[in-house]
Amino acid sequence: MLIVLAGTIGAGKSSLAKALGAHLGTEVFYEAVDHNPVLDLYYENPKKYAFLLQIYFLNKRFESIKMAYRRDNNVLDRSIFEDELFLKLNYKNGNVTKTELDIYKDLLGNMLEELEGMPKKRPDLLVFIDVSFETMLSRIEKRGRAFEQIKTQPGLREYYHQVYHEYPEWYEKYNVSPKIKIDGDQIDFVNNPSDLKNVLDQIDQQLKTLDLLH
């Protein structure tokens, strides 16, 4: 089965992907953040690097999907379907031009068409981690990636609020696969084993309903 994690920045996707991979005995494909040569440049100068970052992520995402869709059991940290959310925001903020927006959408459309030819065409389940804006900010701070910090770049607060604001509608509209929403605010699946069990039980239950787990 193929499970994808979705949610705003710092929602807990990588953390839950790791736990879910261990629980189901599946491989985890993490988002390309650690050795990303563009991400810190983007946070420094979004106007210059937004389009390049979108292309970088899209390419990496597609690479993971190609591997993950060919194998049987996988967990993907963030879905390709969220990339357009970031792109549109960058367009709205004047960081990508209309031509860049159109070229990107065309490329994304072509890539998604390619998936139609693969043995597995779409995820079996999307797990959306829902957190409040305050939690999002505190997790970003706690994780401590230097270029993401509001303390040194106060302007980022507004950008994070925009990203946060886009997600509820994005989730409501998402219809590529079955989906489930997890409360990442109240449930501390990172530090509290019984909370983690609670989340894994919710996901297992959904997988059973879909006849993917017995």
Q: Are 124 and 72 in contact, with CB atoms under 8 Å apart?
A: no
- Residue 12 annotated as part of some ligand binding site: yes
- Residue 121 annotated as part of some ligand binding site: no
| Closer Cβ to ligand GNG, 87 or 207, answer by number | 87
Helices 46-70 & 83-92 angle (0-180, nearest 10):
170
Q: Are 86 and 42 in contact, with CB atoms under 8 Å apart?
A: no
DSSP letter for each residue of 117-136: TSSS-S-SEEEEEE--HHHH
**Dihedral pair phi/psi, residue 99, rounded to 5°:** -65, -45
- Catalytic residue status for 77: yes
| x-marked contacts with ligand ATP along 26-65 as a string, rule CB under 6 A | -----x-x--------------------------------
Choices 8-16, 90-98, 112-120, 152-160 (CB under 6 A): range interacting with ligand ATP:
8-16
| Closer Cβ to ligand ATP, 125 or 127, answer by number | 127
Which of ligand ATP, ligand GNG, none is residue 110 near (CB under 5 to 8 Å by kind)?
none
For tokens 């696969």, the residue is 177
Residue among 53, 96, 137, 199 that touches ligand GNG (CB under 6 A):
53
Q: Are 22 and 145 in contact, with CB atoms under 8 Å apart?
A: no
Structural tokens at position 15: 């953390």
Residue among 3, 6, 12, 19 that touches ligand ATP (CB under 6 A):
12
Structural tokens at position 36: 């990303």
Q: Report how many residues bind ligand GNG under the rule CB under 6 A.
A: 12
CB of 11 to ligand ATP, least distance (A): 4
Q: Sheet containing 179-183: give its strands across.
A: 27-29, 74-77, 2-6, 125-130, 179-183
| x-marked contacts with ligand GNG along 62-101 as a string, rule CB under 6 A | ---------------------x--x---x-----------
**Among 34, 40, 77, 188, the one annotated catalytic:** 77
Which of ligand ATP, ligand GNG, none is residue 53 near (CB under 5 to 8 Å by kind)?
ligand GNG
**Dihedral pair phi/psi, residue 129, rounded to 5°:** -95, 115
CA–CA separation, 63 and 60 (whole Å): 5
Chain positions contacting ligand ATP, by CB under 6 A: 7, 9-15, 31, 33, 139, 142-143, 184, 187-191
Annotated binding site for ATP: 7-15, 139-143
